[in-house]
Amino acid sequence: MSASSAAAASAAHPDGLPLPRRYWAIAAIALGITMSVLDSTIVNVALPTIARDFRAASAASIWVINAYQLAILLVLLPFASLGEIVGYRRVSQAGLAVFTVASLGCAFAPSLLALSLARIVQGIGAAGIMSVNGALVRHTYPHRSLGHALGINAFVVATASAVGPTIASGVLAVANWRWLFGINVPLGAVAIAIALWALPDSERTPRRLNIAGAAA
């Protein structure tokens, strides 16, 4: 979609998305941010099992967590800036796709190194989701409901962060640790399918991404 068509779409719905598309957009946004936040905490419980399966030291297995978090920190702000240039919708959709494919890579990782590398890619995808989350919420809800919308979004993030260890314990009680990542694949596919249709368009800023500034 060109910048002019994105602006036209925004003008057609200047006060949030119409129903029922708004509900579908909310579902895609909530599902995406839930998966990305869960994967920052859900692996903690499984670290001893992962280290044992790969016959790795506990100090080495911690990179399964560090790789994900560092990747998010490195590209979060550049992706937010990129969202202003190419559209928040595109960045979120790309983030969902990368996150889902990387989750499949994590589930089938043959070694601790391969798992850590897949987690880096997964973190990049999660950064794409997180970086434009608030902007998508702003374009999804009516202006009069923005405070309510941000409250719901914050509740989803906080809940996902809090229940991560509990969900991990439940999964590990009945299945292999690889299912902690494998479950993201069908959920991600559903989120991508909804996002392709429902996520709101936004106006774009005609400028180039400051790569030097992002690298700094």
Supply the pLDDT for residue 89. Answer: 96
Residue with tokens 């990129």: 82
Q: What percentage of the chain exceeds 70 in pLDDT?
A: 91
**DSSP 8-class letter at 18:** P
Which residues make Cβ contacts (< 8 Å) with residue 71, sequence separation at least 6? 119, 120, 121, 122, 123, 124, 126, 127
Asked if residue 199 lies in contact with residue 89, where contact means CB atoms within 8 angstroms, the answer is yes
pLDDT (0 to 100) of residue 151: 94
Greatest C-alpha distance within the chain: 58
Preceding amide of 20 cis, omega within 30: yes
Q: Where are the domains of the chain?
A: 17-215
Phi, psi values for residue 19, rounded to 5°: -80, 145
Q: Is residue 179 within 8 Å of residue 185, measured between CB atoms? A: no
Backbone φ, ψ for residue 88 (5° rounding): -65, -35
Q: Are 116 and 100 in contact (CB under 8 A)?
A: no
Q: What is the pLDDT of residues 122-146, one digit of tens each?
A: 999 999 999 999 999 999 999 999 9
pTM of the entire structure?
A: 0.90
pLDDT per residue over 163-173, tens digit each?
Answer: 999 999 999 99
Contact 5, 129 (CB under 8 A): no
Between the alpha carbon of residue 169 and those of residues 60, 107, 128, 196, the distances in Å are: 22, 17, 27, 33
pLDDT at position 206 is 80
Convert the pLDDT of each residue in 15-36 to its tens digit.
Answer: 889 999 999 999 999 999 999 9
DSSP string, 33-77: HHHHHHHHHTTGGGHHHHHHHTT--HHHHTHHHHHHHHHHHHHHH
For domain 17-215, the CATH class is mainly alpha
Q: Between the CA of residue 209 and those of 56, 80, 102, 130, what are the distances in Å? A: 40, 10, 25, 18
**CA–CA dist 121, 85 (Å, integer):** 22
Would you tell me the crossing angle of helices 133-140 and 146-174 to the nearest 10 degrees? 130
